[in-house]
Structure formats: C-alpha cells, structure tokens
C-alpha cells in the first residue's frame, strides 16, 4: 500500500551517497580512469573513492600536468598520458571511460582485450555497429560492461518504478516528460560536443539518453516505434529533440529534451488507468524536486526528493556487482539499446519518417 486512508504518504528514506560504502570483503577493485573532464572530477572519481573496496590506481590525461593534478587530488598511484601504459598496469582491474563520445568504443574494446572490466560513460558508442562490437569484445574477454545511466539510481525514479510495479496507479497508459539543461549560449559547451564527428548527436545524447533509459527501466518495456523532430538539419548538432515513443507493451510517451529553453520545468507525468504520478523538477539529477501521487483510491500524497550524486551511486552498484560476480545494471545491453534508439531518432528526424525498431 502506498499510503494510509489519511492520504499522507510515508516519507521515503532517501540516503544520499554515503562517505564510504562499507562491505565485508577482502577483494578490491583497482580502478583506472581515462578522461579528466568535469564529470570525472565532480562525479565519477568521488564515486570511485566513496566505495570502500575500490582503489584508484591510475588516471590518464593528454596533459601530464593535468594527470598529475588529478592523481594528487584523488589519491591515484599513477598519472599517465598513455592509455596503453595504464592498460598494461596489472593493478588496474577496471577502467572508467570519461572521454569524448567517438572515443568510447575503441577505448572500451582495448580495455576488454587487456582483461579489464569497463565502466563507460554514455553513449557506449556513436554507431550501432560499434556498440555491438563493444558487447562482443567484452563477452569474448569475459569482462563486465556497465554504462553510466545514473537516473536509475535517483530515488524519485526508484520510487516511481515501485509504484508502477505495485499496480497502485493501474496500468500505465501514457507518459509525458521534459528534460532540459536550460539554454546554453554559444561557447559554454566543450568544443568536441558541437563536432558531429566526435559527439555523434547533440542534446539527444548529452541530456536525452538518461531519460530515454529511465523510461525503458520504469516501464519494463522496449521502445518499438519512434517519431522524432530535431531543431536542426542533418549534420548540425540539435539543441532540441521532440519525440514520441511507442513501447512494446503499448504505452505511449512524448519526450521533450533540449538545451534551448531558459526556464525548463523538468517535470514528468505518468498516467495510469487508476491514478497518476507527477514529478516536479525531478528529471535532472543535480536538482531537488517533489513527487506527487494520485493513488487508485483517490488519495493524493507528496514526497520531497533532495538531489543526490546519482553518478556515485551508479559507480557503487557497478563496483558491488564486480565483487559479487553478478549481472550489471545498467548493462552493455542497455548501452546498445540507447545507441539503437538515438540512431532511430536521427533517421526519423532527418528523413521525416516513423522508424520501427526490432531487437534480436
């Protein structure tokens, strides 16, 4: 039961990423990281160090001074400018890839061939063929592959999935969702992010893939039909992507992802046959917001959710999975599905067609 007859929701116990995640084990994950950008510095490296059975062994940057600075700040034993040198270090057992999008596939494959587990930032690759190659190489090498879709670790979405799965709002019919980083004037993005050869796509990948993945996760279904509109022609990085998705279970979703509107709501609504879930300001992990639930009994309840370092929670779950030898979530398959979806969206937007997706 979601709430008592008074209509007051029980408070969800939201636990932000703890200082150290303690587990009973003698096994350690030896991490190496390539890519010393803002996400690595603000989210991923603190996440690695927050898990008690992780040890940061090495960092790689094109610039030795930057590699040295990161190694000193986060306690890494080695600072490299050569990725190959790091992969030859036997103390490194898992690699975090935080580089420009077009480099992910090659670096993930190199790590797999060196016998290292792979934690890859999104997207897994910029083409479907390359994403498939990454999965094949990791499977062949017998290493684990995880992808950074941190929305799965945001308490608001965990609670929304619990409500959906409980049947409290009935069968889900329709979802509306907005995710926006706000308007980004020229010059605020790294140069590679506006280069199609390095980034692949624009806001669909920068912002969108996180919410596309969380919809698949919450609704427990794959997207089978896509209709998309971009605000730019082929070859120009889109700043707004409007999409309609049909899921295999019949649910429809309309999704507005952009880096263009100056005052986004970042809301979502999940309509069921008996009730409704509304998230106010909750589609971006760095911000707090409120979940409003209309239950099947006509009760209204509200829950507040502070921001959390969902990236760190994702790293912790991946790290725990390595130690326990269990399936990883989000997995390489989730990374592949994301690349297949954004590829379909681009074809729909640029060719003006509905695109159907099938999965083997």
For the chain, the domains span 29-148, 151-356
Task: With residue 322 as reference, give the H or E element that holds it.
Answer: helix 310-324
Task: Dig out the tokens for 355 from the structure.
Answer: 């695109």
d(CA 118, CA 146): 6
Tell me the CATH number of domain 29-148, given options 3.40.50.300, 3.40.50.720, 3.40.50.620, 3.50.50.60: 3.40.50.720
- Counting beta carbons within 10 angstroms of the beta carbon of residue 291, is it exposed (0 to 12), middle (13 to 18) or buried (19 or more)? buried
Question: Do 79 and 66 meet the contact criterion of CB atoms below 8 Å apart?
Answer: no
d(CA 304, CA 292): 9
Query: Looking at residue 220, what DSSP letter applies?
Result: T
Question: Do 40 and 333 meet the contact criterion of CB atoms below 8 Å apart?
Answer: no
Question: Do 245 and 253 meet the contact criterion of CB atoms below 8 Å apart?
Answer: yes
Tell me the CATH number of domain 151-356, given options 3.40.50.720, 3.30.360.10, 3.40.50.150, 3.40.50.11310: 3.30.360.10
Among 357, 317, 344, which residue's Cα sits nearest to residue 243?
Answer: 344
Question: Beta-strand (E) ranges in 231-350?
Answer: 240-247, 252-258, 268-272, 276-280, 289-294, 300-305
Residues in the chain: 360
Q: What are the pLDDT tens digits along the chain (360 aa)?
A: 333 333 445 444 343 433 333 333 448 999 999 999 999 999 999 999 999 999 999 999 999 999 999 999 999 999 999 999 999 999 999 999 999 999 999 999 999 999 999 999 999 999 999 999 999 999 999 999 999 999 999 999 999 999 999 999 999 999 999 999 998 765 566 677 888 889 999 999 999 999 999 999 999 999 999 999 999 999 899 999 999 999 999 999 999 999 999 999 999 999 999 999 999 999 998 999 999 999 988 889 999 999 999 999 999 999 999 999 999 999 999 999 999 999 999 999 999 999 999 997
d(CA 110, CA 68): 23
**What φ, ψ does residue 311 adopt, rounded to 5°?**
-60, -45
First to last CA, the chain: 38
- Counting beta carbons within 10 angstroms of the beta carbon of residue 320, is it exposed (0 to 12), middle (13 to 18) or buried (19 or more)? middle
Task: Dig out the tokens for 15 from the structure.
Answer: 């636990």
Question: Do 112 and 143 meet the contact criterion of CB atoms below 8 Å apart?
Answer: yes
Q: What is the pLDDT of residue 163?
A: 97
Task: Dig out the tokens for 203 from the structure.
Answer: 């806001």
Contact partners, residue 298, CB within 8 Å, separation at least 6: none
Among 49, 51, 30, which residue's Cα sits nearest to residue 114?
Answer: 30
Task: Dig out the tokens for 121 from the structure.
Answer: 């930032």
3-class state of residue 166 by DSSP: helix
Task: With residue 348 as reference, give the H or E element that holds it.
Answer: helix 332-351
């Amino acid at each position: 039961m979601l709430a008592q007859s008074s209509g007051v929701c029980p408070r969800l116990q939201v636990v932000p990423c703890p200082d150290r995640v303690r587990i009973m084990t003698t096994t350690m994950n030896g991490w190496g990281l390539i890519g010393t950008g803002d996400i690595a510095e603000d989210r991923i490296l603190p996440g690695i160090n927050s898990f008690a059975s992780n040890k940061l062994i090495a960092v790689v940057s094109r610039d030795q001074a930057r590699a040295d600075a990161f190694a000193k700040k986060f306690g890494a034993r080695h600072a490299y400018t050569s990725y190959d040198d790091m992969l030859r270090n036997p103390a490194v057992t898992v690699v975090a890839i935080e580089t420009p999008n077009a480099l992910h596939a090659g670096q993930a494959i190199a790590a797999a061939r060196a016998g290292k587990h792979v934690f890859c930032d999104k997207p897994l690759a910029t083409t479907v063929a390359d994403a498939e190659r990454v999965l094949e190489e990791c499977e062949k090498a017998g290493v684990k592959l995880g992808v950074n879709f941190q929305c799965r670790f945001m308490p608001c979405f965990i609670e929304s999935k619990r409500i959906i799965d409980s049947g409290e709002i009935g069968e889900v019919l329709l979802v509306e969702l907005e995710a926006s980083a706000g308007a980004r004037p020229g010059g605020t993005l790294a140069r590679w992010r506006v280069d199609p050869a390095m980034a692949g796509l624009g806001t669909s990948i920068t912002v969108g893939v996180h919410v596309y993945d969380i919809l698949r996760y919450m609704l427990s279904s794959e997207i089978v039909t896509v209709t998309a509109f971009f605000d730019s022609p082929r070859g120009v990085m889109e700043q707004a992507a409007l999409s309609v998705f049909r899921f295999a279970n019949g649910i429809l979703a309309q999704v507005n992802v952009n880096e263009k509107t100056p005052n986004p709501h970042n809301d979502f609504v999940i309509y069921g046959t008996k009730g409704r879930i509304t998230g106010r300001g909750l589609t971006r992990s760095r911000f707090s917001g409120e979940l409003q639930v209309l239950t099947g009994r006509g009760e209204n309840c509200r829950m507040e959710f502070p921001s959390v370092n969902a990236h760190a929670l994702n790293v912790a779950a991946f790290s725990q999975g390595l130690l326990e030898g269990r399936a990883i979530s989000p997995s390489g398959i989730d990374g592949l599905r994301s690349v297949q979806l954004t590829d379909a969206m681009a074809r729909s937007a640029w060719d003006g067609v509905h695109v159907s997706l099938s999965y083997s």
